Structure 1
Amino acid sequence: MSRFEVVAGAGSLRSREAGVTRFPHRWTEEGVTVEAEFTGAHLLHLSVAGCVLNDVYREAQDLGIKIDGVRVSAGGGFDSRTWASDGVTYEVEVSSPAPGPDVAALLRRVDEVAEIPRAIRAGASVDRSGNGVDG
């Protein structure tokens, strides 16, 4: 089983590696860095990492917690015969002057509200529309 790992970072925890992809970000002036290959598996995991990273900033603002940086690593494997996922796991690193218990409570809240992880946990149908022929 192959693993497909990605990392998204913002603020003080952005990647300093050459060749990372950089995106503007509504929550940080410096933007977000992304370390991922461009495959469907990586993009699925990046959707989790990006959602969690964004929600850390959003929920921290709501709770009045200052965030200096966030790094989210996400990954998982797929059966190479069926491409069935074995699930997605993610890990969050937060740089903040807030007390540890406050950051831990923030991360619990993010795990409850983050939209992409919730959608994947709930399951969703994926259907192709149209015939793909131009004209």
Structure 2
Amino acid sequence: MKQFAVVVGAGSFRSNDGAAIRFPHRWTAEGVTVEADFTGAHLLHLAAAGCVLNDIYREAGVLGIRIDGVRVTAEGGFDTQTWTSSGITYQVELRSPASGDELAMLLDRVDDVAEIPRAIRAGATVRRG
């Protein structure tokens, strides 16, 4: 099974790689960076990673937690014969003055509310219109 990984970063975790793509971002003045190839598998993983990054900033704002940097890496495998996914695993790195307990609570909350991971977990019908 071939692995497809993506990395999104913001704040102190923005990528310095010249190949990284930069996007404006509602919650960060410097925007976000994306390191991903342009394949369907990468884009699926990018949707999950980008949603988690966005929701970290959104939920941290609600909870009054300052976030100085976020990096989300999402990856998973695809059988390149059938394009069956092995699932998506994501990891989060945070830089914040908040306590470890506060950050753990934030990440649990984000894992519960992040829209794209929730939609993928629930399954979605995709059809040509």
Task: State the TM bucket, normalised to the shorter chain.
Answer: over 0.9
SS at match of 1:67: coil
Identity of aligned residues (%): 70
5 Å matches for 1:1-135? Answer: 1-129=1-129
Which structure would you say has the larger Rg?
1
SS at match of 2:50: helix
What is the rounded CA distance, in whole Å, between the counterparts of 1:64 and 1:38 in structure 2? 35
1:17 positional shift: 1.0
1:79 positional shift: 1.1
SS at match of 1:58: helix
Q: What letter is aligned with 2:122?
A: A
Number of aligned residues: 129
What is the rounded CA distance, in whole Å, between the counterparts of 1:22 and 1:52 in structure 2? 17
What is the rounded CA distance, in whole Å, between the counterparts of 2:16 and 2:32 in structure 1? 11
1:18 positional shift: 1.1
Unpaired runs of at least 5, structure 2: none
1:2 positional shift: 0.3
RMSD: 0.5
What is the rounded CA distance, in whole Å, between the counterparts of 2:21 and 2:107 in structure 1? 25
Q: What letter is aligned with 2:113?
A: V
What is the rounded CA distance, in whole Å, between the counterparts of 1:28 and 1:80 in structure 2? 36
Q: Deviations over 1:48-73 (max 9, x none)?
A: 00000000000000000000010000
What is the rounded CA distance, in whole Å, between the counterparts of 1:42 and 1:121 in structure 2? 17
What is the rounded CA distance, in whole Å, between the counterparts of 1:47 and 1:19 in structure 2? 19
1:81 positional shift: 1.6
What is the rounded CA distance, in whole Å, between the counterparts of 1:4 and 1:79 in structure 2? 11
Unpaired runs of at least 5, structure 1: 130-135
What is the rounded CA distance, in whole Å, between the counterparts of 1:83 and 1:19 in structure 2? 27
